[in-house]
Amino acid sequence: MSIIIALIIFSLIILFHEFGHFLLAKKNGVTVVEFSLGMGPRIISKDWHGTKYSWKLLPFGGSCMMLGEDEAGDAEGSFGSKSVWARIFVIAAGPVFNFILAFILAVIVVSLRGYDPAVLTGVSDGFPAQEAGLQEGDVIVKLNGKSIHMATEVTDYINFHQGKTLDVTYKRDGNAYTARIVPEKDEDGRYIMGILLSAGYVKGNVFDNLRYGVYEVKYWIDLTFMSLKMLVSGQVGVKEMSGPVGVVSAIGGVYTQSAKRGALAVVLSMLNMAILLSANIGVMNLLPIPALDGGRLVFLIIEAVRGKRINPEREAMVHFVGLMALMALMVVVMYNDILKLF
């Protein structure tokens, strides 16, 4: 059951991404040759209004194949015949739709569960937070200049910046104060300030739900960038990366654990996983890597600046090399995912 749910979540996220490309392509008069869910041989397909809609065998990925996508030309309805800004909008629509989906799901989660404000429920005796004057009821609003809206952001920021001095801005009785805190090691070797954050969720009104829906998406986007920074800096390696197999396994594990707490816990856990994945896919696709949307946007932005398109054959070769590199990385990641299962 958990595997089926994982595949459904993954497939719907990819489908929504490709639907972004599809919608903007249609809006700008680009002919969509095929819109498909999955990869490999077609299981079912139907031609409708000049587009072939397909469901393919392998339940990973999807595509929105446009006429003349990697070619120069002025054939009617071809991707290359449209203005550079129209093409930018079409390519950028996929990641943007991932963020839109993440926001919709986040609003649903906050509406059902509530939000977790960064309110202190206490401070630990003898630790830096107490010495700096923080106390129960204080609301943390910034850490080293970074805006904070949720309790989870405080915990993650400290975990990602172990041993760093923290300039903590907090509010008390409507007034803002700032304290410089040097975290100390606890008995487990972790650097902590010695604060106790709100353990429960607060139910808000419609506007609170919309606002914290934005904060939730921003949180997952920030977490993705922090993880990428750790990967680039060598703090984590390729072995810690997860591909489709790892994602399905992670969703299955979360499902199994949440099922013990009831149906609502399962729904909230699966929605949170979907928010994480959708935001993550949105960010990853905007990276300036050949073959990804971000790589294509780089070429389109260069074209917009210089007023002339880069040779399509050269661009296609760059994307092909990038695709091969990504496929090689995916094989390595998938191999590591499989090893983790046994």
Mean per-residue pLDDT of the chain: 86
State residue 175's pLDDT score.
93
State both tokens at 38: 């999955």
- CATH number of domain containing 153: 2.30.42.10
Has 18 been annotated as catalytic? yes
Residues 91, 31, single domain; the answer is yes
Please give the distance of CA 8 from its chain centroid, rounded to a whole number: 17
Residues 109, 164, single domain; the answer is no
Q: List, for residues 258-296, the tens digit of each pLDDT value.
A: 878 888 888 899 999 899 999 999 999 999 988 899 999
Q: List, for residues 291-317, the tens digit of each pLDDT value.
A: 899 999 999 999 999 988 888 788 888
Q: List, for residues 127-170, the tens digit of each pLDDT value.
A: 899 999 999 999 999 999 999 999 999 988 888 888 889 999 99
Tell me if 291 sits within 8 A of 323, measured CB to CB: yes
Q: Which residues contact 330 (CB under 8 A, 6 or more apart)?
A: 243
Among 136, 170, 197, identify where a domain stops. 197
37 pLDDT tier (thresholds 50, 70, 90)? confident
Q: List, for residues 77-92, the tens digit of each pLDDT value.
A: 888 888 999 999 999 9
State residue 90's pLDDT score.
96
Residue 123 has phi, psi (to 5 degrees) of -130, 150
Tell me if 245 sits within 8 A of 334, measured CB to CB: yes
Q: Which candidate in 18, 69, 153, 216 is catalytic?
A: 18
Note down the domain range covering 109: 1-115+203-342
Tell me what percent of the residues of the chain surpass a pLDDT of 70.
91
Residues 221, 255, single domain; the answer is yes
Among 155, 176, 197, identify where a domain stops. 197
Residues 92, 237, single domain; the answer is yes
Among 174, 197, 220, identify where a domain stops. 197
pLDDT-wise least confident of 34-38, 81-85, 202-206, 325-329: 325-329
Kindly tell me if the per-residue pLDDT of 327 is higher than 70.
yes
pTM of the model: 0.86
Kindly tell me if the per-residue pLDDT of 192 is higher than 90.
no
* Concatenated DSSP letters of 38-75: EEEEEEEEEEETTEEEEEEEEEEEEEEEETTTTS----
Residues 87, 134, single domain; the answer is no
